[in-house]
Chains A and B, each alone.
Chain A
Amino acid sequence: MASERVFMKGNEAACEGAFRAGCKFFAGYPITPQNEVPEYMSKHIWKHGGVFIQSESEVAAINMIMGAASAGARAMTSSSAPGISLKQEGISYIAMSELPCVIMDVVRCGPGLGNIAPHQGDYFQATRGGGHGDYRTITLAPNSVHEMAQFVYLAFELADKWRNPALILSDGTIGQMMEPVDFSQMPYVEPPHKSDWCVNEHQEGRERHLICTIYLLAEDMAPIHERLIKKYDRLKREEVRYTDYMSDDAEILIVAIGSPSRVARSAIKAAREEGLKVGMFRPITVWPFPYEVIRQYAESDRVKAILVPEMNWGQMIEDVVLAAGCAKPVHFIAKHGGLTFTPEDMLEPIRAIRANPESPATVWVQS
């Protein structure tokens, strides 16, 4: 790769980001629309000194990741909605064991088998833990092919820093589309050594290492929970990431992630040509969620209303409402069944909200 700028598919860019971060283990099971991930991994990970396993199931894949992460390697798995449901058991164990790893969800439409069209129905399972018990995964939401690579790269860094699983919450559109990626800010790195806690073949002269999630006595479990809660609190303070687009003077603030946030940019440009001051706030970490920044927007005199477009029945909007309180009306527009937004889908409600910030057609929570 002489030039650092490459034209590639989102799913493949994610793999390149992983290689650059020193990912040495990938296990996964084919599911559309993320098949390029295991395919690309199977072709290229070996020359980076890594191992690819096409697992017998999603359940096995996530447990293989648990093993590889326990052994101190940077490890990753990838799937799409129904497959991520299957991985939840393993993610719960990984979170409780405080093992770093990266899990990518190229979300398709659910519930059930659903279809293979892009969707955002996995927001809850990505940001609320997803499996049994109390835990959280660091969750990054890319909206471009470049960010697929960049966020996987970053996810490995954050996972190791916090000894916590990190999740990439993508969608079928971002995974399948092609765009240029600039790898200049993603140099190949040697992953950190984890010999102070990982299981390995060098046990001479040290206490044995135990990776464990079972603490039968409540008195033993409580301090572990408290340690995790403290970690999550620090994560909430230190790792919130977001970006914005023309939001400095915005009277209507769109809050969006993933492919709808791309459509929102087009809608914002068109709205501004009509003289409507619209901007966008885009969370990069959806866990930890940027509640505080959204609250500040909502409480500013300038912002009249917030609009949340999602390709689901309303999930991230619950976080936005939690952040905004009842300071300003929060509106919701949706695309169902795997359908995607057009700029006009957003422009129409924007015009209505401009005329009436409490526009009943889209209002979710009134101020």
Chain B
Amino acid sequence: MEAAKDKKTLTIDGKDYELVFDRPESLSVKPFTYCPGCNHGTIHRLIAELIDEFGIQRRCIGMASVGCSVFSYEFFDCDFISCAHGRALAVATGVKRMRPESVVISYQGDGDLAAIGTAETIHAANRGERITTIFVNNAIYGMTGGQMAPTTVLGQKTTTTPEGRDERRIGWPIRMSEMLALLPGVAFVARTSCHDSKNILKTKAALKKAFRAQLEDRGFGLVEILSNCNVNWRMTPQDGVKWVGEEMTKIFPLGTFKDVFAEEKEKLPAAARESADASSEETEV
């Protein structure tokens, strides 16, 4: 990581300051255009930090999807493809198969990954594509102005469920991570949240494993990240974050649903397990 190099300094009005916090190299200089309170910026930063830490920026190829993160390609400094709605993991498959040395990430929202692109998601996962997928679940369609998402919770009011989501009319919120964990092609799948710093750090740990699944040629890696959309939830940012932590997590329990790294460690004899613990930092979610 860059921080390991010499200390950076910054000169402002003739005075030198030590630079202790900086934009990751993998983020572009373009300011985020997301709404105040939105977690996309946080999640982008976590991804960029990991790309820097793994030293893979110059071989990273991103898939942007459709939804609020449609312009995610603007914010990362690496090759990118802007994909059709729901098709990111099919496009990613074509890229990764032709460029196995690249690191392919797919950044998708709930509508993209769990509604219009459900088939692409399940089958890319089932083929065990070496792709790192970031699935941002905010229980609503943000970009189009607050319509029901496949992950909208029961009773939640949206512009297309004005009386609240009613399972008899439109079914239940879909739990993608639990479903995907059943597939042998999946090396790592976890659900995390960005509603507080502790959970943001856990999100980074999970993302790291989703990258490792690809970098170590283990299989498909996905992190479902519960995210705030206070604007379309008609809440203040504070209430939105609180709602993620208190309500969304009831419907979408946080946790790791498949982890080949942990499974492997369990199979090791006790002594080897301890040394494995010592050599790898804690990434349990």
Residue numbers of A with Cβ under 8 A of B are: 24-25, 27, 51, 53, 55-57, 59-61, 63-73, 75, 89-90, 93, 199-204, 208-214
Residue numbers of B with Cβ under 8 A of A are: 57-61, 70-71, 73, 77-84, 87, 90-99, 101-103, 119-120, 122-123, 127
Interface contact A60-B81, CB-CB below 8 Å? no
User: Which residue of chain B lies nearest to A89 when distances are taken between CB atoms in the complex?
Assistant: B84
Partner of A211, one of B60, B81, B98, B120: B81
Interface contact A199-B119, CB-CB below 8 Å? no
Partner of A64, one of B78, B79, B84, B93: B93
Bound Cα distance from A203 to B82, whole angstroms:
18
Interface contact A199-B90, CB-CB below 8 Å? no
Secondary structure call for the B interface: helix
Bound Cα distance from A24 to B98, whole angstroms:
8
Partner of A90, one of B61, B81, B87: B87
Interface contact B82-A211, CB-CB below 8 Å? yes
User: Which residue of chain A lies nearest to B84 when distances are taken between CB atoms in the complex?
Assistant: A93
Residues on the B chain within 8 Å of A203, using CB: 57-60, 78-79
Interface contact A67-B59, CB-CB below 8 Å? no
Q: What are the 4 closest A-B residue pairs judged by CB atoms, nearest first? A: A67-B94, A201-B59, A63-B90, A68-B94
Interface contact B79-A63, CB-CB below 8 Å? no
Interface contact B84-A200, CB-CB below 8 Å? no
Interface contact A59-B87, CB-CB below 8 Å? yes
What's the A-B contact tally at a CB cutoff of 8 Å?
Answer: 132
Interface contact B82-A212, CB-CB below 8 Å? yes
Partner of B59, one of A27, A202, A209: A202
Interface contact B58-A199, CB-CB below 8 Å? no
Residues on the B chain within 8 Å of A70, using CB: 81, 91, 94-95
Residues on the B chain within 8 Å of A199, using CB: 61, 79-81, 95, 99, 102
Q: Which of B61, B82, B91, B96 has the most CB of A within 10 A?
A: B91
Bound Cα distance from A198 to B243, whole angstroms:
43
Residues on the A chain within 8 Å of B70, using CB: 214
Partner of B90, one of A24, A60, A208, A214: A60
Nearest-CB distance from B186 to chain A (Å)?
16
Nearest-CB distance from B117 to chain A (Å)?
9
Interface contact A208-B84, CB-CB below 8 Å? no
Interface contact B79-A68, CB-CB below 8 Å? no
Residues on the B chain within 8 Å of A75, using CB: 94, 98
Interface contact A67-B58, CB-CB below 8 Å? no
Bound Cα distance from A56 to B58, whole angstroms:
31
